[in-house]
Structure 1
Amino acid sequence: MSHKYLSALSALTLLVLSACGSSPQASDSQASSPAASDGSGFAYSCQQSLVLAGDDAVEQVFSDAQWEIGPLGFPVPYSSTAGGCQVLDSGVRAGFAHTQQGALLAAITVVAGYNPGATQELFDDFDAKIAPGQGYEKLRAQAQENVQKQPRLLGSDDVKVIGAKVLGFDSEYASFEILIKDSKSPVVYAVTVPLQWVDGDWKHQGSTTSYYYDSRLISGAIGSMVSFPVISPEQVEQ
C-alpha cells in the first residue's frame, strides 16, 4: 500500500493527512446520506445510536475504538460511543457524538483522516467537514488549488500521529492540539485544531493564517497528553 500525506508546512514540510475505511456499526452507510430529518439535531441518522460515555473522559476515548487505514495510509479511529459513524463519499468519516470524546475523534480525523486538497473526492466533502467562518473561503480556495496542482506526497513512514491535548471544550466549540512526531528525529509538532458544532456535527474551523491548520514546534518536554495506542499502519494490519 502506498502511504502518503500532503505536505502543508513551509519550514519542515510536516503534514495534512487523509483517511477512509469500513463501518463501525452495521447501520453505517458507505456513502453520504441525507441529514436526519426527525428533529434530533444530528447531521446523520447514525449519530442517534451513539452511546454517550458516562463521564466523557477523553482518556477513555479509545476504550471501544476500532482503527482503519485511510486511502493515504494513516491509522484513523472510530467508535460506537464517540462516533465517526458516517462514511462520506470520499471515504472520510463524519457523524461524531456531541461530547468531548466525539470532538476529540473529530479532531484526530482533521489531522489523520481528512485533507480537502488531496483529491477531488475529498474536496467534494468540504462542506461536510469544514465549518463556515473566517477561514472558510481561504481554505476552500487553497484546497481547490492543491487538487489541481497535486503537490508532492510523502509517506506515513515519515511521521506518526502520537497523541492529543485538550485546549478547551463546551457544547458549541472545542479545541485540541494533535501531536505529530517525525519518525526519523525527536522533532514533535503540535497542530492546533479548533472545532465547532454546526449543522449537527463537529466541523473544523479553517485556519486564517496557514493552509488547513496552524502548528508549533515543541522544543521541550511534551508533558501530559492522551497517547494514541495505534500510530502506524502495521499496527492496524496485524
Structure 2
Amino acid sequence: AALTGAREVEFNGELDPETSWNGNINYVKKMDTENSFVTLDASAFYTYFSNRILPDYETDTNKIIYSNLNGFSVSKGIAFNIDATFTNGLTLNVGATLMDVSITENNVKRKQLLTESFSGVWSMSYKFNNKITLDYTGNIFAPMLLPLLGENDIRSKSSPWYSIQNIQVTKKFINSWELYGGVKNLLNFTPNANSINSANNPFDIGINTEENPEMAFDPSYIYASNQGIRLFLGLRYTIF
C-alpha cells in the first residue's frame, strides 16, 4: 500500500521497534425475553504508543517518509454494539465507535491522517419464511484528514461524511441451492473524480513533480471505493 503513485518511499535512519501500552474496559449485558434475545456490548479503550512508525506524506510531497515518531501517539475511544434476535425472523446488529487518534511530536499535538473520529456499522436480516431472506447492511464514516500534495493541491483536506449501504434477497431451493441478488452501494456514493490526482497521467510524463508536486499522480488520497451503485446476481450451492 505504501508504494503508490509517484512518491518515493524513504526510511529515515534505522527504525526502532514500536512499543505500546493499552487498556480496555468491557461491559456485556444479555437480555432474554419471550420474543427476543438481546446482547449489549460497550467498551472503552486507550493505547499509548512510543517509537511509533508512521508514514509522513507532508514533509516532502514527492516522498513517503517512514521514521520513528519523536514523541508519542495515543488512540482512545469508546465502542458500542447491540445484537438482537427476534422470534418473528428479524435479526439486528448495530455498532458504533467514537475514536480520537492523535500524534504529539516536539510538544505539538495533531490529528493523525486517514483516521475518522466516528464510524458506525449495521445489518438487518429478515426471514419472510423458510425460503426467502432479506439482508440490509451499511456503514457510515465521519470526515478524516487526507494527505495533500502541497499548498496548491485543489482537493479538500478532509473527506465528507459518507455511507455505503447494500441490500440482498436470497431464495432457497431444495437440494441446498440458493439464488441471490441485490444492489451494492445503494446511495451511489463515490469520492470526487479528482481524488486520484492526475489519474490520466500515472507516470507523470512531461511533468516536473519537484517544482509542481500538485500535478503528480497520487492515489494516496483515496478513502473509499470508486465503484458506484451496481446490481449483482448469483447462484450458490451449500455442500455442508
TM-score (normalised: structure 2): 0.24
Structure with greater contact order relative to length (CA < 8 Å, sep ≥ 6)? 1
Going by fraction, where is helix more abundant, 1 or 2?
Answer: 1
Going by fraction, where is strand more abundant, 1 or 2?
Answer: 2
TM-score (normalised: structure 1): 0.24
Structure with higher Rg: it is: 2
